[in-house]
Amino acid sequence: MKLLFKRLGRYFFSGLLVFAPLAFTIYIVITLINWMDSLVSYVFHINFPGFGLAVMLVLLTVLGLLSNLFFIRPLINFFENLVKRTPLVKIVYSSIKDLLSAFVSDERKFDKPIIVKLTDDGPARLGFLTDEDLSVFGHDELVSVYLPHSYNFSGNLFLLPRRNIERLHGINSTEMMKYIVSGGVTRLKAEKKLIDSKEE
């Protein structure tokens, strides 16, 4: 009987491992689609499942196309400059734009995985090198690093000496982010090779 309960318990947790990530993913996707549907139906008065997602994809693609046209760019720059001059609004706008640019633009910032030694003999942390030139602060020996939190979409910015930073080459940035956020549970697939940034 004890063996039976132990086996059933193992089956239960195996099922939970399969179901929970899938259920949460589906829930988030459906919630996002429903939100877009309600937003678009409010504007266009059309209530059709998935219509909001389709409209958003088309609008974002068209907006991206228009933003690259030489005669539209000055207009976008004008509105961006207007927003950046507005108190409080400019902080929110600039922060969101910089965060998105760090992930999806041609100037991605989270593309340099590193190991950080917070102290000489203490534990190390994984993160991303985001800025190697901090001369604006008057500290050429410091670099800017971002250390994401595990099981959370947040992190901390640290300014650390270059000697405390080790670059990780041959590791995909997306895989590194998943590894950190999962608390080290996700397996890194890329080849790991450590090169001290001081020697570059």
pLDDT tens digits for 99-146? 666 666 555 667 788 998 877 777 888 988 988 888 888 888 899 998
pLDDT tens digits for 106-119? 556 677 889 988 77
The reported pLDDT for the residue numbered 194 is 43
Domain co-membership, 119 together with 100: no
Domain co-membership, 54 together with 125: no
Domain that holds residue 79: 75-107
Domain co-membership, 125 together with 194: yes
Domain count, the chain: 3
Domain co-membership, 96 together with 63: no
Domain co-membership, 129 together with 102: no
Report which of 134, 193, 142 is spatially closest to residue 163, judged by C-alpha positions: 142
Domain co-membership, 142 together with 163: yes
Distance CA 192, CA 140 (A): 29
Residues of the chain with confidence (pLDDT) below 70 = 98-109, 189-200
Domain co-membership, 51 together with 27: yes
Distance CA 178, CA 25 (A): 15
Helices (H) and strands (E) in the chain, counts: 5, 6
Q: What is the pTM of this model?
A: 0.56
The reported pLDDT for the residue numbered 41 is 82
